Amino acid sequence: MDGTPWLSIVIPCFGRQEMLTGLLDQLCGQIGTRADVEVIVVDDGTSPPLKVRVRDTTLVKLLRHERPCGAPAARELGFRNATGRFIHFHDSDDLLGHQWIDAAVRAVRQTPAPDLVVTSRLVMEPGGAVSFWHVRRLVEVAKTTARLRAYQRFINRIGPLGGMIFSRRAAEAITFHRTAASQDWLMYDDALASSEHVHFDDKNYFIFNKTQTIRISNNARSRAKGYVFAARARFRSRRMRRFAARIYCAHGAGELAPVINVRHRWLKRIACELLARHPILAGR
């Protein structure tokens, strides 16, 4: 090995000092003495500045924007300073599954090396409910990267960024769009367009924490703007842009309730599922 880390973990963060500390404790505990993983925290203009509160500060590199620039810009800064062969973006309020580091490095070191690694997720809901989304559900409908990309245009099944690891080649293809929400959808589109081998890792998972009140997904206006931005980026025709934005809203109807009334929600969700499974019906 030439000393290049196998995995770079990029954590954009604004505020959330306590949650960041908990995540870093978990990360550093799993990394231990291994030298093939690096952690990069990007403080997106927090005042007062964030601190890396871990026993061994050499395990974590701290970067900073002097003023808030948004999560996409923070992720891009982290990526530009990452040296790993593979890149993982992790939100500061989410956590890792048991032995996540070992499983992640094992997945990216396989032969042939994957372009993308997708894992399962344990979802912590407000009110204490817990559910598990198994990555095998995605394998059933996405046999190839082209099929997965077509499916993603209508339903985001890959999920939050915590469930994805990008090869450096795939990450280089990403445009870090400055949009309020749904940034990860477009990151997946870019990465899938330049990828050949997607590995669905059913031995690993991350913890998607939806219990926090300060999340972009809890801001209905930001979420609606993100849906519209994604539809415009994905489709050329005005008709498909309008239709796609409506079916995205139908899938997120619960979180959009404060600002938009989604008519015919279930009919649109059925149409969304049909188009995802048979994207040729939509054309371009």
Q: Give me 28's structure tokens.
A: 């550093």
* b/e per residue 196-221 (b: at least 16 CB within 10 A): eebbbbeebbbbbbeebeebeeebbe
pTM for the structure as a whole: 0.90
Residue 192's contacts (CB-CB under 8 Å, 6 or more residues apart) are 116, 145, 148, 149, 152, 198
Query: For residue range 169-204, what is the model confidence (pLDDT) as tens digits?
Result: 999 999 999 988 889 999 999 999 989 999 999 999
**Phi first, then psi: what are they for 132, rounded to 5°?**
-125, 125
Q: Report the C-alpha gap between 144 and 150 in whole angstroms.
A: 10
Q: Quote the CA–CA distance of 37 and 75 in Å, as a whole number.
A: 17
Maximum average pLDDT range among 184-188, 211-215, 264-268: 184-188
Residue 280's pLDDT is what?
66
Task: Give the percent of the chain with pLDDT over 90.
Answer: 56
Which domains does the chain possess?
7-209 (3.90.550.10), 219-281 (no CATH)
Report how far residue 114's alpha carbon sits from residue 234's, in angstroms, rounded to the nearest whole number: 25
Residue recorded with tokens 């992720």: 75
The answer on pLDDT for 234 being more than 80 is yes
Least confident of 5-14, 224-233, 265-274: 265-274
